[in-house]
Chain A
Amino acid sequence: MNAIIQSVNPSDDSLLLGGVNLRSRLFVGTGKFSSHEIVPLVLEASGSQVVTMALRRVDWKNPQENILNYLPPNTILLPNTSGARTAEEAVRIAHLAQAAGCGNWVKIEIVQDQRYLLPDNWETLKATEQLANEGFVVLPYMSPDLGAARRLQDAGAAAIMPLGSPIGSNRGLQTKELIRILIEEISLPIIVDAGIGRPSEAAEAMEMGAAAVLVNTAIATAGDPVFMAQAFHLAVVAGRLGYLAGPGERRITAEASSPLTGFLQEG
């Protein structure tokens, strides 16, 4: 094994987020599955440590229907504010989640457009500011926009979660160029959320330098969600290694492995 590969030993490559060193860079969602019973199997196959769930869908009255009862005890919960249309509503959901024992991580999801479910960056900024001040680990889901991401960073976000394409669309990294700019310009971890439909797209995001990806629909609606979770796990690891290894420059034409001017270095 050459020196470069040895220097990117994946066991040393954890993601520090909210004071926790995460081994897995794949976050998964709990929505859209055909049963709760499959969720722990998916989590095991994905290797994920961070699991997001919509607080609106947590059934507190029926223990058998409560998704939280199906998650392994060491899971880091990332309640999201799905259903919120304003910063005020998102803050209220975050408070409810914390009061219900879901910890202090929150994914801000504020949507005022029910056709495309695109996030409202302005309301997201307001909610991020308030919740970060209160000590929450805030992960805002946002439309990739450099100005908004800088403001979210200043407001105290723990990471930035730009969308690859609309939620549930499985359209992949349609916003790739904008995400690339965020990765270059923002010092916080960039976690690509929404739209990733295939393992190869997760690998692509990781190769670009995303800190992690969040996948739900692509796993939940796959023919075999457990296999697909494993595929995403492998893709995220592969993409991350590819990023760390530093891929070679892309060229249009072929380049000889033995350079023509190599003789100048000889002797």
Chain B
Amino acid sequence: MFYEQITEWQQKLPESTWASFSGADVERVLARESLRPQDLAVLLSPAALSYLEPMAKKAQALTIRHFGRTIGLFTPLYLANFCSNSCLYCSFHTGNKIVRCKLSIAQVIKEGEAISSTGLQHLLLLTGESRTHSGPAYMEECVHALRPMFASLGLEVYPLATEEYRRLFEAGIDSVTLFQETYNEVTYAQVHPAGPKRDYHYRLEAPERACASGISSVNIGALLGLSDWRQDAFYSALHADYLQKTYPGVEVAISVPRLRPYAGSFQPSADPVTDAILVQIILAYRLFLPRAGITLSTRESPQMRENLLSLGITRLSAGSLTSVGGYSETDNVGSAQFEIADERSVPDVVAMIRAQGYLPSFCDWVNMRAKDAVGL
């Protein structure tokens, strides 16, 4: 289990280690062809901040070699925002007085049609954590309704049991996205004071359960800025490496979400993730995990997304709305999970990608299992 690696590395990498790395260490790591976890630590250390340019050159070359000049596009679809958790940083927090709702299957189809008309074919389905309002059976119904419209369906919901993942995989889910939020157990307990999400271990092991269920792709990550970003970036990448090695048939991707303004008053005490640090994290991820997808959401501003595009990013969300029922503008619009910073339309994001010398990819998957998958 990955938790054993966390405890092992906590011993090997005490807080004082980060400052002990020098520029010479960074140069040695940059000369290596494949990196070990100790090399990843060097790239996340303060010393590496002076080496962002050579790191960027290497990261760009690696990304182009493995992924080409192609950026995959997807968009999220929020199915429901009922939630029994109390995450201090999230607008869906059970105590927050927001408009709660859940899409009917007819509304799900309407939302799917509105998204599909933009040309997007990779869809990520999201819900709050509520087994009453948005349980696996409801998700399965939504998957059946949406499957014929999209090339790929992903799921970003609360952690499920292996058997539940397996059922959703059989129904037509291709990928599972699940962020640990923070790998620091103390912070994790502080920011998740109530609700099922309090269980750190059940969440930590969820990507592995998804892999074991047969799913083709998993996307993990930490909510950067919630706790010490160095630790969270280190363990996120180590987690991705662990999943790649344990489940070689599964495509593993990693996201780089930064904490965004939301409806609530919690402010983290950890150091903020500045633009330079976000760049450092993305570059370290790419150099340590040359074949992992790196996903960037509309949490980042248009300018930042343009600048980050050529540094190792392989997937971008586009035309995103984080409110329930927002795409088809039904009268059933629930409150949004967080503010998005890039509100551009799909054609505008496509034009931006082309202007950067990259090919926007709407379709990079064929579902081969679900009975109602896309026919050609």
Contacts and interface: CB of A to CB of B under 8 A. Distances in A.
B187 interface: no
B368 A61 contact: no
A4 to B, nearest CB: 40
B252 interface: yes
Contacts of B245: 115
Interface residues of A, number: 37
A83 B365 contact: yes
A221 B190 CA distance: 47
24 contacts: A33-B68, A34-B68, A34-B357, A34-B358, A56-B363, A59-B361, A59-B362, A61-B116, A65-B360, A65-B361, A65-B362, A83-B216, A83-B365, A85-B249, A89-B368, A99-B376, A111-B249, A114-B248, A115-B244, A115-B245, A117-B291, A168-B65, A221-B65, A221-B68
Contacts of A60: 363, 376
B121 interface: yes
Interface in A103-129: 111-115, 117
Most buried by B among A88, A96, A170: A96
Nearest to B247: A114
A96 B366 contact: yes
How would you classify the secondary structure of chain B's contact residues: helix, strand, loop or mixed? Answer: loop
B249 A112 contact: yes
Interface string B207-251: 000000000100000000000000000000000000011001111
How would you classify the secondary structure of chain A's contact residues: helix, strand, loop or mixed? Answer: loop
A236 interface: no
Interface residues of B, number: 33
Given A61-B121, A114-B251, A100 B376 contact: yes
Contact of B69 (A34, A92, A117, A170): A34
B126 to A, nearest CB: 23
B49 interface: no
B216 A85 contact: yes
Interface string B345-376: 00000000010011111111110100000001
A65 B362 CA distance: 8
Contacts of A59: 121, 361-363
A107 B365 CA distance: 17
Contact of A36 (B65, B244, B359, B376): B359
Given A33-B68, A59-B121, 14 more contacts: A32-B64, A34-B357, A56-B363, A56-B365, A61-B362, A89-B368, A93-B368, A99-B376, A114-B291, A117-B291, A168-B66, A220-B68, A221-B64, A221-B68
A65 B68 contact: no
Given A114-B250, A114-B291, A32 B368 contact: no
Most buried by A among B70, B216, B366: B366
Nearest to B121: A61
A104 to B, nearest CB: 15
B358 A93 contact: no
A114 B64 contact: no
B67 interface: yes
Contacts of B69: 32-34, 220-221
Contact of B248 (A89, A93, A113, A220): A113
A18 interface: no
A112 B368 contact: no
B193 interface: no
Interface of A: 31-36, 55-62, 65, 83-85, 88-89, 92-93, 96, 99-100, 111-115, 117, 168-170, 217, 220-221
Contacts of A58: 363
A85 B214 CA distance: 11
Contact of A114 (B119, B121, B244, B363): B244
A35 B65 contact: no
Contacts of B357: 34
Interface in B231-283: 244-245, 248-252
A10 B114 CA distance: 56
Contacts of B365: 56, 83
A109 to B, nearest CB: 13
Contacts of B244: 114-115
A100 B65 CA distance: 30
Contacts of B361: 57, 59, 65
B119 A32 contact: no
Given A112-B248, A114-B252, A217 B65 contact: yes
B119 A61 contact: yes
B248 A32 contact: no
